[in-house]
Homo-oligomer: A and B are copies of this chain.
Amino acid sequence: MFPFSRDDEDTFKILIATDIHLGYLEKDAIRGNDTYNTLNEILQCAKQNEVDFILLGGDLFHDNKPSRQCLHKCITMLRKYCMGDSPVRFEILSDQKVNFNTTQFPWVNYQDENLNISIPVFSIHGNHDDPTGAEGLCALDLLSASGLVNHFGHSHSVEKIEISPILMQKGITKLALYGLGSIPDERLYRMFVNKQVSMLRPKEDQDGWFNLFTIHQNRSKHGPTNYIPEQFLDDFLDLVVWGHEHECLIKPTLNEQQLFYVSQPGSSVATSLSPGEATKKKIGLLRVKGSEKTFQEIPLKTVRQFFIEDVVLADHQDCFTPDTPHVTKKVEDFCFAKVTEMLHEAERERLGCPLTPEKPLIRLRVRWTHCGLQWRRREQKEIKDKNSIDYGKLFKPTAVEGLRVEDLVKQYFEAAEQKVQLSLLTEQGMGKAIQEFVDKDEKEAIEELITYQLRKTQLHLQSRGVTTEQDIDAEVRLFRDSKKNTAEEEKDIQEAMNRAKAHRLERGDGDFADQDVSDVTMDSDEGSVPVAAPTRGRGRGSRGRGGRGRGRGESDKEMP
């Protein structure tokens, strides 16, 4: 039994999403509409579920200065879905001037007598759409000024931060919504260490509030002080919605030390081809009634599928040794079969999902040995014995076939029918993925990176030829072997690494490739997971009963 009815007058229903990155690749002929379609889906979902409000964890926009088209589409969708006659049924008890301080209209939009808002959107800013310029305005503030979004969590000081919650009440339920817009991690880390960050609490009935906090920072440790440890956050919080990290880890997980939950919704679009982006994209529906709460995961249907796979040729020693006859052709066939397999998998998964784009993103990474392979893999085979083989021999121009693998693959695709196009991708996401690959840890490895972006899934194999209409864009790039072993090489590599680092620092994006992440089940099923609420002596009242599925392919479970 669900512990409280869906449309209870005491129940806050909050749609939670983050990192929508509106406008990402908007000029791409294939992927250009992805982010718009997904924002549309998210807003539609909010409307269908009659949520009380939408909470966004930052990076609504991909670009700090979104294009006119991007703003126009965003404004249009917000006006379409978030305005209307459905009444908003919660009150704001705190001083709104404190929270909404970036416009001349320092109050929540749904209380503006000139605007008929049905679904208020509350959003912090991310690192992509962060405030700039003398006025300290961000793209979100244009929406704020228009009355379409409530931008909160904007701290104007770089010395000291006091996070004052928006205190909301719906029937018996009291919700304190805290937010902190993106701040450079190093700076915020230092401020935490120097005790310059404080979260204010209402004086009365402190334990009667559900304390929800939204933050947009590195959650993964990118450097000693280049992230925000969960331990820094106040332990009176109940749920932290963590934006910025793109991997969908939306299921609230308990921080055992702080005794709060953390939900990391992840982005609703893959802005890089890193493994973290390959997890199924979801948004969340949080329900809070008194001290009871449930978290429902809602898989997004409009998100382009993304499959990534690593192949280590050393794992197939029987096929790929220097002495194998026609070894390059074998490698080529092997890769082709892998890609085909991935496409079939994508096709199977997409069945019955008409909203999902036809063409998936596919990435196949081929390496010779496990050296430098730091990817998280489900099964990591023992590789010591394989390392004794001199794989380098394979790729010398004087080797059996006299060709390197990327040349082979290139030749192969070039020789294929006209419709199979091979070209060097300069596309942003791809370029970034490549750039991220140049990393100190992997510097010593002899490696190749082969990345395909498959643009059509209708792959039919007829004997060995690719015969149907396919546009295959691929990037084949060798990082080590393509460079001459000179001082310039070292310099070039160092420069590439610095660029990649600067880029990453600037972007602040999660790069999961080098992280020591324990293996998390990437469940693509639609369930949600009950989590035990810690007893913190705060008199949270009755802990609920087990949840049940409620149609539409989404299930709710309470945090008991």
Interface flag for A68 (CB, 8 Å)? yes
Give the contacting residue for A116; candidates B80, B114, B134, B138; CB below 8 A: B114
Complex contact B84–A114 (CB within 8 A): yes
Interface flag for A75 (CB, 8 Å)? yes
Complex contact A139–B68 (CB within 8 A): yes
Q: Which B residues are in CB contact (< 8 Å) with A137?
A: 68-69, 72
Q: Which B residues are in CB contact (< 8 Å) with A147?
A: 79
Q: How far is the CA of A67 from the CA of B132 in the complex (A)?
A: 11
* Nearest CB of chain B from residue A460's CB, rounded to whole Å: 33
Q: Which B residues are in CB contact (< 8 Å) with A135?
A: 68-69, 72
Complex contact B145–A76 (CB within 8 A): yes
Complex contact B116–A72 (CB within 8 A): no
Interface flag for A15 (CB, 8 Å)? no
**Given A68-B65, A69-B137, A72-B141; A79-B116 close (CB under 8 Å):** no
Q: Which B residues are in CB contact (< 8 Å) with A83?
A: 114
Chain A residues 423-454 with CB under 8 Å of chain B are none
Chain A residues 191-218 with CB under 8 Å of chain B are none
* Nearest CB of chain B from residue A140's CB, rounded to whole Å: 10
**Integer count of this chain's copies in the complex:** 2
Q: How far is the CA of A112 from the CA of B80 in the complex (A)?
A: 12
Q: How far is the CA of A104 from the CA of B103 in the complex (A)?
A: 26
* Nearest CB of chain B from residue A307's CB, rounded to whole Å: 31
Chain A: residues with Cβ within 8 Å of the partner, total of: 34
Complex contact A75–B133 (CB within 8 A): no
* Nearest CB of chain B from residue A71's CB, rounded to whole Å: 6
Interface flag for A148 (CB, 8 Å)? yes
Q: Which B residues are in CB contact (< 8 Å) with A85?
A: 113
Q: 1/0 contact trace for A48-71 toward B, CB 8 Å? A: 000000000000000001011101
Q: 1/0 contact trace for A120-155 toward B, CB 8 Å? A: 000000000000111101110110011110000000
Chain A residues 68-109 with CB under 8 Å of chain B are 68-69, 71-72, 75-76, 79-80, 83-85, 103-105
Complex contact B142–A79 (CB within 8 A): no
Q: Which B residues are in CB contact (< 8 Å) with A172?
A: none
Q: Which B residues are in CB contact (< 8 Å) with A67?
A: 133
Interface flag for A461 (CB, 8 Å)? no
* Nearest CB of chain B from residue A99's CB, rounded to whole Å: 18
**Given A79-B147, A104-B80; A68-B113 close (CB under 8 Å):** no
Q: How far is the CA of A117 from the CA of B114 in the complex (A)?
A: 7
Q: How far is the CA of A145 from the CA of B80 in the complex (A)?
A: 10
Q: How far is the CA of A346 from the CA of B85 in the complex (A)?
A: 55
Complex contact A145–B68 (CB within 8 A): no
Interface flag for A403 (CB, 8 Å)? no
Interface flag for A415 (CB, 8 Å)? no
Complex contact A79–B105 (CB within 8 A): yes
Q: How far is the CA of A83 from the CA of B105 in the complex (A)?
A: 13
* Nearest CB of chain B from residue A469's CB, rounded to whole Å: 25
Q: Which B residues are in CB contact (< 8 Å) with A105?
A: 76, 79
Q: Which B residues are in CB contact (< 8 Å) with A115?
A: 114-116
Give the contacting residue for A68; candidates B84, B104, B141, B146; CB below 8 A: B141
Q: Which B residues are in CB contact (< 8 Å) with A104?
A: 76, 80
Q: Which B residues are in CB contact (< 8 Å) with A148?
A: 146
Q: How far is the CA of A42 from the CA of B79 in the complex (A)?
A: 27
Chain A residues 208-238 with CB under 8 Å of chain B are none
Q: Which B residues are in CB contact (< 8 Å) with A116?
A: 113-116
Q: Which B residues are in CB contact (< 8 Å) with A133?
A: 67-69
* Nearest CB of chain B from residue A471's CB, rounded to whole Å: 21
Q: How far is the CA of A83 from the CA of B117 in the complex (A)?
A: 15
Residue of A116, A141, A145 with most chain B CB atoms under a 10 A cut-off = A145
Q: Which B residues are in CB contact (< 8 Å) with A69?
A: 133-135, 137
Q: Which residue of chain B is the closest to A104 with respect to CB atoms?
A: B76
Q: Which B residues are in CB contact (< 8 Å) with A65?
A: 68
Q: Which B residues are in CB contact (< 8 Å) with A76?
A: 103-105, 145
Q: Which 3 A-B pairs have the closest CB atoms?
A: A114-B116, A83-B114, A146-B146
A-B contact pairs, 18 of them (CB 8 A): A68-B133, A68-B138, A68-B141, A71-B142, A72-B135, A72-B137, A72-B145, A75-B146, A76-B104, A76-B105, A76-B145, A79-B114, A79-B147, A80-B104, A83-B114, A85-B113, A114-B116, A114-B117
Q: A75-B146, A76-B145 are in contact. List 6 more A-B contacts (CB 8 A).
A: A68-B132, A68-B133, A68-B142, A72-B137, A79-B147, A113-B116
